[in-house]
């Protein structure tokens, strides 16, 4: 028993540690400093081991904490009409029922299990039982502090707080035992990641039972609640016997993990088919153009679904929202002053909105997956003149795509500004419209430039550039930070326009200088 | 015409994959490039195709005694897994290619003549490439790579996953194409190399060397090649 536990831990730990070392190697600069033989370096190994153990603790407590803060207490706050003690027990009970079949650990096809039981041929029964026991222990230990902390705070009796973690484990055990019996009888192997329709329906019903009655002030009385909780303890004890004596763990796991193995193999294929699905099969699509314009027109037309449909939808939503605000001001003129104030100072906020709605990432991704991924393997495609020609054409296209919602937002904002009382300086209208357009131009150029300069994918469509990831994160962080900025339209607008224009010029120069060399498949 | 590689080297961190490649390829020949797994065949191709930067050395084309830089359009590189732009039909891909390369192609043919040459059936020509079979994608890739008549044709394990009929068609095609260019063909299948190639070149210890056939029969020649490759200690 102990040996199995030790072995399965060291196996899990080994690949976790290697995983950590591998991701360290992906970080630019740092990766270059690390030796190729980093998997041998003792110091690094110890460091990664510490991280790995920390992660184990985090996984015991942190997720439970988040679970209590959001699902149980967070949403529970909405149900103020019922006593908080009963609401807490009520919601937690129904969520536990859902967890008992959605989060079993026994029927979760994981990599650890695959490595241990299939590749290493460990004894399936003892491996499963030891790890299942450990998972249940983690559940109890992880739940205990939070049931006490949050439970006592809401006036749940201490004895019940102490019992609840065991009830949760009991519920899980009962469902596990039932599923094992189902296998013995019908040969059906459950996979908790592939629930059947019935299970989804049940989840919907249980979720509704968890939140709707408390929201309208109806909760289970303490006695009934306590009984419904405690019943899982004897049920769990009875089930434990079945789980321990069950004889077909190898069969079950082999079937469960066989599906998983196929999945691992097909993840890449799935990404490929997903991007191929975006290609329109409409045979009437043709083009009369020539050369790269021909290629581009066919690409845009056959990818209309992911490029233009979503951008027109976003533009439509923006139009409706602007219309809504205009209507609000007409119906209750008292809001005008506030809205005017907002529009005058909230322009930086729109940097983030423009970030969210721009189609840059999906455009470059589709470009790579369905077009450049293959064409970059042909040398004619990589001739410097052609790379630049392609950049021009694509920049034009992505600018068009992003400009539609930007135009709607710009016009909408100007209208809102006008209706809400206007401004002393008519230049504000112009700056408003132009700066929103400039932002859309910025995002168009930004994504395409980064794509042409860093081209992060390999021929196997694997993302391989740490720098690319970091640039993406920085873009997000910068836009997010701008949200907290409150500046008058003229100040921010002028700065924004200047920045966007400058950036665009620099970006184009960089592309012209470097893209013919950098626009390649990663190896 | 000769294709000359001088002291080409490439290392990945500590590992010296290409040590000192020094070799001259002659026009009109098919070279079979043999090497153990991990010997660096793909790395060599990637360096020649400028997909990765070599650490040192040079390579150039010599025509009529005058050396010149190898341009992108001089090289055709056929990968083992065929990659074609899925959103185009076979005909559109070919038309696009001819549109942008038209001026540099000597006596261009009509689209259908090219398809006929590769025995791609009329009913398949207007299908999206994503719906092509593996063999057809391979033919399409080969077609695009040979239309422009590149001076150097690099083929990385091109016939291994094709059915016997297509593989035979491709072999015939390669033989018919060898005049006026240098074909370098990497493979693990010795019989294929012996059948198709005029010279056998080994990549071992990061260097290229010719295995002389002299007056050996096929069996003895094979044994000689294996003996030479066994010296290499790659796994």
* pLDDT tens digits along B168-190: 888 898 898 888 899 999 988 88
Residues A495 and A436 in one domain: yes
Q: What ipTM does the predicted assembly reach?
A: 0.82
Number of residues written out for chain B? 235
Helix (H, G, I), strand (E, B) or coil at B153: strand
What average pLDDT does this structure show over B106-128? 88
Query: For B206-217, what is each residue's pLDDT tens digit?
Result: 889 888 877 778
Q: Is the pLDDT of residue B78 over 80?
A: yes
Domain assignment present for B235: no
Chain A's closest residue to B143, CA to CA, is: A378
Who's near A213: CB < 8 A, 6+ residues apart?
Answer: A90, A219
Query: For A226-264, what is each residue's pLDDT tens digit?
Result: 999 999 999 999 999 999 999 999 999 988 888 666 655
Find where tokens 């198709």 sit: B196
What average pLDDT does this structure show over A118-137? 90
Question: Quick one: DSSP state of residue A187?
Answer: -
Question: Quick one: DSSP state of residue A350?
Answer: H
Helix (H, G, I), strand (E, B) or coil at B58: strand
Helix (H, G, I), strand (E, B) or coil at B67: strand
Contact B95 A379 (CB under 8 A): no
CA distance B121 to B98: 20
- Residue B72 CB neighbours (<10 A): 17
Contact A459 B49 (CB under 8 A): no
Query: For A385-406, what is each residue's pLDDT tens digit?
Result: 889 899 999 999 999 999 999 9
Residues A256 and A299 in one domain: no
Who's near A480: CB < 8 A, 6+ residues apart?
Answer: A352
Contact B99 A291 (CB under 8 A): yes
Q: How many domains does chain A have?
A: 2
Query: For A428-445, what is each residue's pLDDT tens digit?
Result: 888 888 989 999 999 999
Contact B88 A298 (CB under 8 A): yes
**Facing B96 at nearest CB: one of A36, A276, A295:** A295
Residues A134 and A232 in one domain: yes
Contact A386 B49 (CB under 8 A): no
Domain assignment present for A75: yes
Q: What DSSP element (H or E) covers B85? A: none
Contact A520 B73 (CB under 8 A): no
Does B204 reach chain A within 8 Å, measured CB to CB?
no
Chain A's closest residue to B92, CA to CA, is: A295
Who's near A40: CB < 8 A, 6+ residues apart?
Answer: none
Domain assignment present for A53: no
Residue B35 domain boundaries: 2-230
Chain B's closest residue to A302, CA to CA, is: B87
Contact B128 A281 (CB under 8 A): yes
CA distance A128 to A116: 10
CA distance A512 to chain B (A): 18
Q: What DSSP element (H or E) covers A303? A: none
Radius of gyration from C-alpha coordinates of chain B: 18
CA distance A315 to A407: 8
First to last CA, chain B: 37
Query: Which residues of chain A does B148 touch, with a Cβ-Cβ cutoff of 8 Å?
Result: 380
Helix (H, G, I), strand (E, B) or coil at B32: strand
Query: In chain A, what percentage of residues exceed pLDDT 90?
Result: 33
Who's near A333: CB < 8 A, 6+ residues apart?
Answer: none
Structure tokens at A187: 């040969």
Domain assignment present for A299: yes
Domain assignment present for B179: yes
CA distance A369 to A231: 54
Position A119 scores a pLDDT of 82
Residue A81 domain boundaries: 62-262
Contact B51 A370 (CB under 8 A): no
Does B234 reach chain A within 8 Å, measured CB to CB?
no
Q: What burial class does residue A247 get, using C-beta atoms within 10 Å of its C-beta: 0-12 exposed, 13-18 middle, 19+ buried?
A: exposed
**Facing B72 at nearest CB: one of A37, A374, A382:** A382
Q: How many domains does chain B have?
A: 1
Find where tokens 């010997």 sit: B39
Q: Is the pLDDT of residue A418 over 50?
A: yes
Residues A78 and A225 in one domain: yes
Domain assignment present for A143: yes
What average pLDDT does this structure show over A46-63? 85
Could you please report the per-residue DSSP string of B174-215?
Answer: HHHH-TTSEEEEE-S-HHHHHHH-SEEEEEETTEEEEEP-TT
Q: Strand B152-156's sheet: what is its strand order?
A: B75-78, B152-156, B182-186, B30-34, B199-204, B207-211
> Which positions in chain A have a beta carbon within 8 angstroms of at least one beta carbon in chain B?
35-37, 276, 279, 281, 283, 290-292, 294-295, 298-299, 302-303, 370-371, 373-375, 377-380, 382-383, 386, 459, 520-521, 523
Chain A's closest residue to B52, CA to CA, is: A523
Contact B72 A380 (CB under 8 A): yes
Chain A's closest residue to B79, CA to CA, is: A377
Instruction: Write the CATH number for B152.
Output: 3.40.50.300
Residues A110 and A187 in one domain: yes
pLDDT category of residue B235 using cuts at 50, 70 and 90: very low
Domain assignment present for B87: yes
Contact B144 A520 (CB under 8 A): no
Residues A257 and A340 in one domain: no
Contact A37 B14 (CB under 8 A): yes
Helix (H, G, I), strand (E, B) or coil at B77: strand
What average pLDDT does this structure show over A134-153? 92
Domain assignment present for A23: no
Residues A168 and A227 in one domain: yes
Which contacts of A284-293 are long-range, i.e. CB under 8 A and separated by 24 or more positions?
A290/B99, A291/B96, A291/B99, A291/B100, A292/A386, A292/A389, A292/A390, A292/A393, A292/B100, A293/A393
- Angle at A213 (CA atoms; ends A211, A217), nearest 5 degrees: 115
First to last CA, chain A: 45
Residues A226 and A299 in one domain: no
Q: Please state whether beta strands B199-204 and B207-211 pair in parallel, antiparallel, or not at all (unpaired).
A: antiparallel
CA distance A452 to A363: 13
pLDDT: is B89 or B232 the higher one? B89
Does B147 reach chain A within 8 Å, measured CB to CB?
no
Whether B51 contacts B10, CB under 8 Å: no
What integer best gives the mean pLDDT of chain A?
86
Contact A379 B86 (CB under 8 A): no
Query: Which residues of chain B does A521 touch, with a Cβ-Cβ cutoff of 8 Å?
Result: 51
Position A262 scores a pLDDT of 63
Domain assignment present for A43: no
Structure tokens at A451: 């794509």
Question: Quick one: DSSP state of residue A368?
Answer: I
Q: What are phi and psi of B11, to 5 degrees?
A: -125, 145
What average pLDDT does this structure show over A269-280? 74
HEC secondary structure over B100-138:
HHHHHCCCCCCHHHHHHHCCCCHHHCCCEHHHCCHHHHH
Residues A374 and A441 in one domain: yes
> How far are the Cα atoms of A4, A26, A41, A123, A130 from residue A17, in angstroms, in the given order?
20, 15, 12, 24, 22
Position B234 scores a pLDDT of 47
CA distance A144 to A11: 28
Helix (H, G, I), strand (E, B) or coil at B64: coil
- Angle at A364 (CA atoms; ends A358, A369), nearest 5 degrees: 140
pLDDT category of residue A224 using cuts at 50, 70 and 90: very high
Number of residues written out for chain A? 523
pLDDT: is A483 or B29 the higher one? B29
- Residue A182 CB neighbours (<10 A): 13
**Facing A291 at nearest CB: one of B50, B100, B141:** B100
Who's near A294: CB < 8 A, 6+ residues apart?
Answer: A287, B92, B95, B96, B99
Q: Mean pLDDT check: name the lowest of A21-25, A379-383, B66-70.
A: A21-25
pLDDT category of residue A56 using cuts at 50, 70 and 90: confident
Q: Alpha-carbon torsion A386, A389, A390, A391, what sign?
A: positive
The phi-psi region of residue A291 (left if phi > 0; otherwise alpha if psi is between -120 and 50; otherwise beta) is: left
Position A203 scores a pLDDT of 93
Structure tokens at A296: 């581009």
Position B101 scores a pLDDT of 84
Residues A323 and A243 in one domain: no
Q: Please state whether beta strands B207-211 and B66-69 pair in parallel, antiparallel, or not at all (unpaired).
A: unpaired
What integer best gives the mean pLDDT of chain B?
87
Query: For A323-358, what is each residue's pLDDT tens digit?
Result: 998 998 888 888 888 888 888 887 888 888 889 888
Residues A420 and A368 in one domain: yes
Residues A296 and A258 in one domain: no
CA distance A148 to A142: 11
What average pLDDT does this structure show over A195-202? 88
Q: What burial class does residue A327 get, using C-beta atoms within 10 Å of its C-beta: 0-12 exposed, 13-18 middle, 19+ buried?
A: exposed
């Amino acid at each position: 028993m102990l040996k199995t536990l030790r072995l399965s831990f060291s196996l899990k730990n080994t690949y976790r540690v290697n995983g950590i070392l591998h991701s360290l190697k992906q970080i630019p600069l740092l990766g270059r400093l690390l030796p190729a033989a980093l998997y041998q370096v003792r110091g690094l190994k110890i460091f990664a081991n510490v991280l790995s153990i920390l992660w184990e603790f985090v996984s015991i407590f942190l997720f439970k904490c988040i679970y209590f803060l959001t699902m149980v207490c967070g949403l529970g706050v909405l149900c103020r009409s019922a006593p908080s003690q009963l609401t807490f027990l009520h919601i937690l009970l129904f969520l536990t029922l859902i967890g008992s079949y959605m989060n079993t650990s026994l029927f979760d096809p994981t990599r650890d299990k695959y490595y241990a039981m299939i590749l290493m041929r460990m004894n399936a029964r003892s491996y499963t039982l030891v790890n299942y026991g450990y998972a249940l222990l983690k559940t109890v230990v992880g739940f205990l502090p939070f049931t006490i902390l949050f439970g006592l705070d809401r006036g749940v009796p201490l004895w019940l707080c102490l019992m609840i973690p065991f009830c949760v484990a009991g519920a899980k055990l009962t469902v596990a035992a039932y599923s094992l019996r189902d296998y013995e009888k019908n040969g059906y192997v459950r996979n908790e990641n592939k629930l059947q329709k019935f299970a989804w329906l049940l989840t919907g019903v249980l979720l509704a039972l968890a939140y709707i009655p408390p929201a309208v002030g109806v909760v289970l009385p303490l006695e009934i609640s306590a009984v419904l909780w405690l019943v899982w303890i004897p049920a769990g004890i009875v089930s434990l016997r079945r789980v321990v004596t069950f004889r077909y763990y190898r069969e079950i796991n082999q079937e469960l993990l066989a599906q998983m193995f196929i999945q691992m193999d097909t993840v890449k294929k799935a990404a490929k088919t997903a991007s191929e699905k975006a290609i329109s099969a409409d045979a009437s699509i043709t083009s009369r153009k020539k050369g790269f314009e021909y290629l581009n027109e066919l690409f845009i037309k056959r990818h209309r679904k992911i490029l233009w449909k979503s951008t027109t939808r976003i533009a439509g939503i923006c139009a409706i929202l602007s219309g809504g605000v205009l209507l609000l001001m007409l119906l209750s003129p008292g809001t005008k002053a506030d809205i005017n104030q907002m529009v005058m100072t909230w322009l930086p906020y729109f940097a983030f909105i423009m970030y969210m709605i721009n189609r840059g990432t999906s455009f470059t991704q589709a470009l790579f997956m369905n077009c450049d991924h293959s064409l970059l393997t042909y040398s004619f495609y990589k001739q410097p003149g052609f790379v630049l020609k392609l950049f021009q054409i694509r920049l034009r296209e992505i600018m068009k795509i992003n400009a539609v919602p930007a135009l709607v937002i710009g016009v909408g904002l100007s209208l809102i500004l006008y209706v809400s009382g206007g401004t002393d300086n008519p230049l504000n209208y112009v700056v408003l419209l132009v700066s929103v357009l400039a932002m859309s131009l910025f995002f168009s150029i930004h994504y395409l430039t980064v794509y042409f300069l860093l081209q992060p994918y390999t021929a196997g469509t694997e993302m391989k550039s740490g720098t690319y990831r970091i640039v993406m994160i920085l873009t997000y962080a910068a836009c997010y930070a701008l949200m907290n900025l409150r500046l008058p339209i003229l100040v921010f607008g002028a700065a924004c326009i200047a920045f966007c224009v400058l950036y665009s010029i620099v970006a184009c120069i960089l592309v012209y200088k470097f893209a013919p060399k950098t626009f390649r498949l990663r190896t | 015409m000769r294709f000359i590689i001088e002291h080409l080297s490439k290392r990945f961190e500590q590992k010296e994959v290409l040590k000192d490649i020094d070799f001259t390829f002659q026009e009109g020949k098919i070279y079979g490039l043999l090497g153990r797994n991990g010997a660096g065949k793909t790395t060599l191709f990637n360096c020649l195709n400028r997909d990765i930067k070599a650490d040192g050395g040079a390579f150039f084309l010599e025509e009529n005694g005058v050396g010149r830089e190898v341009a992108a359009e001089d090289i055709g590189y056929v990968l083992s897994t065929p990659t074609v732009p899925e959103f185009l039909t076979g005909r559109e891909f070919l038309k696009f290619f001819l549109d942008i390369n038209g001026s540099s192609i000597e006596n261009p043919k009509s689209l259908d003549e090219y398809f006929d040459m590769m025995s791609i059936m009329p009913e398949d020509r207007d299908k999206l490439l994503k719906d092509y079979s593996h063999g057809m994608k391979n033919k399409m890739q080969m077609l695009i790579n040979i239309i422009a008549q590149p001076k150097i044709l690099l083929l990385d394990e091109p016939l291994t996953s094709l059915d016997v009929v297509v593989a035979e068609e491709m072999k015939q095609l390669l033989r018919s194409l060898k005049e006026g260019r240098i074909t370098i063909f990497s493979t693990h299948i010795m019989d294929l190399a012996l059948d198709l190639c005029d010279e056998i070149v080994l990549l071992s210890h990061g260097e290229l060397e010719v295995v002389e056939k002299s007056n050996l029969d096929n069996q003895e020649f094979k044994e000689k090649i294996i003996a030479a490759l066994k010296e290499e200690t790659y796994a």
